[in-house]
């Protein structure tokens, strides 16, 4: 798994223009793509019921801090209700790199890889989470069945992230952007800053915006700043598969 994580990091730096300068944001954005989603999470509904005494129920108000960039991880957060925002703060600005929704989780990779998270997590809305402290995670991993499922979940997430990056290598910006929009859309809407999308593609914001406007003129998307709405996802899928 450590080898997979290193390979993933090398692929992140291989995508985009030579000399791209926003490496910290790009790394954080792509690592955020490896958080646990509802469909790839390691625990099942019955696990939460059976292991309820190991979790701490946390109701957090909008703006509350869950964990900080670079801080040693204290546990795993499972989102049950509300939205959690992952972001990177630089001298220039605060940039959102992803949003966690009910069923998602974050924090396990940082613990298993003994690497501080490259982003900060705050509640975007009032939210309800289940918190699994790091010692409880280690105890859970003593159960062979749960350990196998957890490692399988992490491996699948890293493999999916690597697959996305490999599919982008050597492709022109419009094709890369096409794929990224399809991958990032939730209900045909992308709710991420253009700076984050540009960083993930290793390009400049002006170059990204130029391509987005071309997509808008072609009727593929609608720009509803800051949101991007996929108006013709079928045609986007066709264009992506044609390359």
Residue 7 has pLDDT above 90, yes or no: no
15: left (phi over 0), alpha (psi -120 to 50) or beta: beta
Report the topology of domain 2-164: Jelly Rolls (2.60.120)
pLDDT recorded at residue 242: 63
What DSSP assignment string belongs to 127-158? EEEEEEEHHHHHHHTTSHHHHHHHHHHHHHHH
Nearest-CA neighbor of 54 among 167, 148, 133, 152? 133
Residue 111 and residue 150 in contact, taking contact as beta carbons nearer than 8 Å: no
Name the token pair of 238.
């066709």
Q: Is residue 188 scored above 60 in pLDDT?
A: yes
Query: 127-139, pLDDT tens digit by residue?
Result: 999 999 999 999 9
Rounded Cα gap, residues 34 and 4, in angstroms? 12
The CA-based angle 180-182-186, given to 5 degrees, is 110
pLDDT band at 10 (very low <50, low <70, confident <90, very high): low
Q: Is the pLDDT confidence value at 15 over 70?
A: no
Model pTM? 0.86
For residue 6, is pLDDT > 90?
A: no
Under the banding of pLDDT at 50, 70 and 90, the label for residue 93 is confident
CA distances, 75 to each of 20, 44, 110, 114, 144 (Å): 33, 18, 9, 12, 20
Question: What is the full DSSP assignment across 205-242?
Answer: HHHHHHHHHHHHHTTSEEEETTEEEES-HHHHHHHHHT
Neighbours of 165 (CB within 10 A): 20
**Residue 158 above 70 pLDDT?**
yes
Percent of the chain scoring above 90 in pLDDT: 70
- pLDDT value for 21: 54
| Topology of the domain comprising 172-241 | Arc Repressor Mutant, subunit A (1.10.10)
Does pLDDT of 12 surpass 80?
no
**With contact defined as beta carbons under 8 Å apart, do 84 and 65 qualify?**
no
Q: What is the pLDDT of residues 44-79, one digit of tens each?
A: 989 999 999 999 999 999 999 999 998 988 999 999
The CA R_g of the chain, rounded to the nearest whole Å, is 18
Domain ranges in the chain?
Answer: 2-164, 172-241
Best CA proximity match to 150, nearest among 14, 21, 47: 47
Look at residue 78 in the predicted model and tell me its pLDDT: 97
| Nearest-angstrom CA–CA distance, 94 and 106 | 20
Residue pair 208/194 in contact (Cβ under 8 Å)? The answer is: yes
* 45 to 49, 93, 226: CA distances (angstroms): 7, 38, 35
**The dihedral sign for the CA sequence 32, 34, 35, 37:** positive
């Amino acid at each position: 798994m450590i080898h997979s994580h290193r390979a993933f990091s090398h692929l992140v730096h291989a995508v985009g223009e030579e000399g791209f300068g926003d490496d910290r944001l790009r790394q954080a954005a792509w690592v955020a793509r490896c958080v646990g989603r509802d469909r790839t999470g390691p625990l099942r509904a019955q696990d939460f019921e059976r292991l309820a005494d190991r979790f701490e129920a946390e109701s957090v108000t909008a703006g509350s801090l869950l964990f900080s960039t670079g801080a040693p991880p204290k546990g795993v957060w499972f989102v049950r209700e509300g939205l959690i925002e992952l972001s990177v703060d630089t001298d220039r600005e605060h940039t959102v790199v992803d949003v966690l929704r009910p069923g998602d989780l974050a924090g396990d990779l940082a613990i298993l890889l003994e690497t501080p998270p490259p982003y900060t997590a705050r509640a975007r809305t009032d939210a309800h989470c289940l918190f699994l402290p790091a010692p409880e995670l280690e105890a859970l991993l003593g159960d062979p069945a749960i350990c196998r499922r957890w490692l399988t979940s992490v491996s699948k997430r890293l493999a999916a992230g690597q697959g996305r990056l490999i599919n982008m290598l050597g492709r022109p910006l419009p094709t890369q952007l096409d794929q990224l929009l399809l991958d990032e859309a939730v209900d045909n809407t992308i709710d991420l800053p253009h700076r984050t999308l540009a960083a993930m593609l290793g390009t400049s914001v002006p170059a990204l915006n130029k391509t987005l406007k071309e997509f808008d003129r072609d009727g593929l998307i609608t720009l509803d700043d800051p949101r991007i709405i996929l108006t013709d996802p079928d045609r986007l899928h066709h264009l992506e598969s044609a390359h």
